[in-house]
Structure 1
Amino acid sequence: MGNQLTLTVATPERMGRLGRGLAALLRPGDLVLLSGELGAGKTTLTRGLGLGLGVRGAVTSPTFVIARVHPSLTGGPALVHVDAYRLGGGLDEMEDLDLDVSLPESVVVVEWGEGKVEQLSDERLEVRIERAIGAEAADDDLDPRRVTVTGLGARWGGADLTVLGEG
């Protein structure tokens, strides 16, 4: 199954901190696949990740542009934030987006990418965000979330994911 960590994230602020913690583990060429229902916290997590990477521009959901590139302000990797919800063709369509950045030199975060972008890399971090309580409380953004982080491939085999549980 890979290297896995599950934690409970109680607030949106903590989700942002988790994103910043993830950023510290990431390096150019990394692929992060985010999954979870609408409103689960995927963009909040990515916003924290962008802060942690020190990139330019507000991280918002890229629903209408499909992909948004945030260049680094600190000489680190750019953040490529992709919303694959409307990407029917998966990888081919993503290559057609003609992103003005080299993916191997960037950190690529894909929302709604399950079943569409796994072939980008055997080595990836999969982050699943679920409501800890269940659908009956689905109106509340303040529900605790259960976040499962799974590192796949040699790149993540020895990574210490437990650092994400701190803070």
Structure 2
Amino acid sequence: MSSALQTVELPEESDTVQFGRRLGAVLRAGDLVLLDGPLGAGKTALARGIAAGMGVTGVVTSPTFVIARVHRPASGAPPALVHVDAYRLAGLDEIDDLDLDTDLTDAAVVVEWGEGLAERLADAYLLLRIRRRDDDVREITLEPHGETWAPRLAELLS
């Protein structure tokens, strides 16, 4: 069951990265974040920000062709970030083959194109629906599932 939806407007790509940075700062091992939106909406920009907020250094790009990448914070301390692109996955069996539920024990997992596939990996997850308007402003609707997200979203959006 999801809680109340909230939407944020992000005028520039840098605002999307900064919002991701704030989200990354509240993530912990076991968190599942699904990013939904059309090509060019800003999913990977958001993932770059999440990685920065988690302390990951280095280049974060869409893992379209490798499907999943593990990024570790510069400090080496957990949690790691598992960044997944489910665009090319054909179904539930292929997402199961990635063993993402195992990764959730010591990492935060962010799945681009994950809606309809990855929700079953965790009882609590955050779905972010990203839309890019004609004026290039990104609208991100936050759809929390599970009790753990409400207090962290209040912190994130304050």
- The answer to whether structure 1 residue 147 and structure 2 residue 140 are counterparts is yes
Shift of 1:159: 1.5
Shift of 1:37: 0.5
Partner of 2:153: 161
- TM-score, structure 2 normalization: 0.89
Q: Which has the larger radius of gyration?
A: 1
| Conserved? CA contact 2:103–2:109, under 8 Å | no
- What letter matches 1:58 in structure 2? V
Q: State the superposition RMSD in angstroms.
A: 1.9
Aligned-partner Cα distance in 2 for 1:33–1:150: 10
- TM-score, structure 1 normalization: 0.84
> How do 1:118-157 and structure 2 match up within 5 A?
118-133=119-134, 143-156=136-149
Partner of 1:89: 91
Aligned-partner Cα distance in 2 for 1:9–1:165: 13
Aligned-partner Cα distance in 1 for 2:35–2:22: 15
Aligned-partner Cα distance in 2 for 1:146–1:102: 29
Q: Percent identity?
A: 52
Q: Secondary structure at the match of 1:104?
A: coil
Partner of 2:50: 49
CA offsets, 1:59-81, max 9 Å, x none?
10000000011012221311000
Shift of 1:163: 4.1
Number of equivalent positions: 155
- Unaligned ranges ≥5, structure 1: 138-142
